[in-house]
Amino acid sequence: MPLTAIQPPTVGARRPARRLSAAEADVLRIVSDARTPVFVTVRADGRRRYHHWRPLDSATGRGGCYVALPTADCEALRADGRIVLGDPVSDPGRTTYRVSAASPAPAVRLTGVPAPARPARPRMRAA
C-alpha cells in the first residue's frame, strides 16, 4: 500500500485543477474581462443559456448583438468552481444571474507553524 493512501488530507487542500479545453479557456477569458458582462438566463423549464453582449466593431461591421456561450463548457467551469453566479433577477418565466470569474483561493497557513516574527522598531520621540 503506498504511503499516500494513509496520509490524511491537508487542511484547505483543493483538488488538482484539470486542464481546460480551448473552448473553456475562451469562455473563462470572456467571463474574466470586466468590460464584458456575462449573464446566464434560466428558463422556467430549467434550460440555461449563457450569453454576453458583443459591441459593434466599426472596422469589421460585426457585433452589436447578444452572443451565446457554449452551455456545456460554462457548466463545466461552474462545476469546477472557476465561475460563480451573482444575485438573481427574477422575471415571470425566467431568472437571470450575472456570471463572474471566481476569485483565487487564499493562501492556507498551517496552524502548527508560527508566523514570522517582525523585529520591533524603536519609537522616536517628537522634538
- Report the Cα 18 to chain-centroid distance in Å: 14
Q: Residue 38 pLDDT > 90, yes or no?
A: yes
In this prediction, what percent of the chain has a pLDDT beyond 90? 48
Q: Do residues 106 and 92 lie in contact, with contact meaning Cβ atoms separated by under 8 Å?
A: no
CB-CB neighbours of 54 under 10 Å? 14
What sign results for the dihedral spanned by CA atoms 26, 72, 52, 88? Answer: negative
What sign results for the dihedral spanned by CA atoms 66, 48, 18, 82? Answer: positive
Q: Express each pLDDT in 69-88 by its tens digit.
A: 999 999 999 999 999 999 99
pLDDT band of residue 3 (cuts 50, 70, 90) is: very low
Q: Do residues 96 and 41 lie in contact, with contact meaning Cβ atoms separated by under 8 Å?
A: yes
Q: Express each pLDDT in 78-118 by its tens digit.
A: 999 999 999 999 999 999 999 999 987 655 555 665 666 66
pTM comes to 0.66
